[in-house]
Amino acid sequence: MTKWLLIVVAILGAQSCDRPWDGPTVPDGSRSLHLTLITALGPEGTGPNVIASTSLAQLRSQVISTALSGPVRSMNTLCKTYPALPDPCWDHQVDRPGRLYLAVITFDPPCGNAVKEASAISGHTLYFIRWVSNPRGGCSGAQGGARWRLFSAPRSDLPSSGTLTVRLQQQGKAQGQIESQAQLT
């Protein structure tokens, strides 16, 4: 009896562990897209969400508008600078022509889960895929505040014109999908 109990416990334990090759799955027919992380220290807000634009000023405006509609209700609080956060509203970032800017906000998992991210493009759809593993070790259950992260991609890697659908896909323990659109002109 003890032998069978150990086998059942081992099988259940193996199911909750992730294999080393587990991670984000890109949609069939898509190709990998390299996004450059500009900064991970953006405004606080509520997530998950994704916003994209070919104009950094327009993207910044949309992110701040979204953040101000959440728990942070004033520009002073939202864009206050701290030594560790010298540019929380991306005011010192330079708008470079020929780039698509992507702002992503997600929560860090509370239980020491591993997180892997990937990005891909298929036609007029850009995928930002975030995979969250099963919990590792103890779980405090507490979840910290979320911050917007700013990425960019060269326009040469994207369709030349039209509407680009930007899809934040959450896989693994975090499931869900959020979309926005950007005009490529």
pLDDT by residue (tens digit) across 143-154? Answer: 556 889 999 999
Q: Quick one: which of 166, 148, 127 has its CA closest to 24?
A: 127
pLDDT by residue (tens digit) across 53-75? Answer: 999 999 999 998 888 876 666 77
List for the chain the helix, strand, coil content (%; round to 5).
Answer: 20, 35, 45
Task: Specify if 121 maps to a domain.
Answer: yes
Task: Specify if 17 maps to a domain.
Answer: no
Task: Specify if 110 maps to a domain.
Answer: yes
Distance separating alpha carbons of residues 54 and 92, to the nearest angstrom? 17
Q: What is the domain extent for residue 154? A: 30-135+144-184
Would the CA dihedral through 40, 45, 48, 54 be positive or negative?
negative
Task: Specify if 114 maps to a domain.
Answer: yes
pLDDT number for residue 165: 97
Task: Specify if 130 maps to a domain.
Answer: yes
- C-alpha radius of gyration, the chain, whole number: 19
Kindly report the three-state secondary structure assignment for every residue of 64-94: HHHHHCCCCCCHHHHCCCECCECCCCCCCCC
Q: What's the pTM? A: 0.82
Task: Specify if 170 maps to a domain.
Answer: yes
Show pLDDT as tens, one digit a residue, over the chain (185 residues).
566 544 544 444 444 555 666 778 989 999 999 999 999 888 888 879 999 999 999 999 999 888 887 666 677 777 776 666 778 889 899 999 999 999 999 887 767 788 899 999 999 999 999 998 887 666 665 555 688 999 999 999 999 999 999 999 999 887 889 999 999 97
Domain total in the chain = 1
Task: Specify if 12 maps to a domain.
Answer: no
Q: Quick one: which of 48, 89, 51 has its CA closest to 70?
A: 48
> Is the peptide bond prior to 71 cis by the omega test (within 30 degrees of 0)?
no
Q: Quick one: which of 52, 51, 174, 184 has its CA closest to 117?
A: 174
pLDDT number for residue 9: 42
Task: Specify if 58 maps to a domain.
Answer: yes
pLDDT number for residue 139: 65
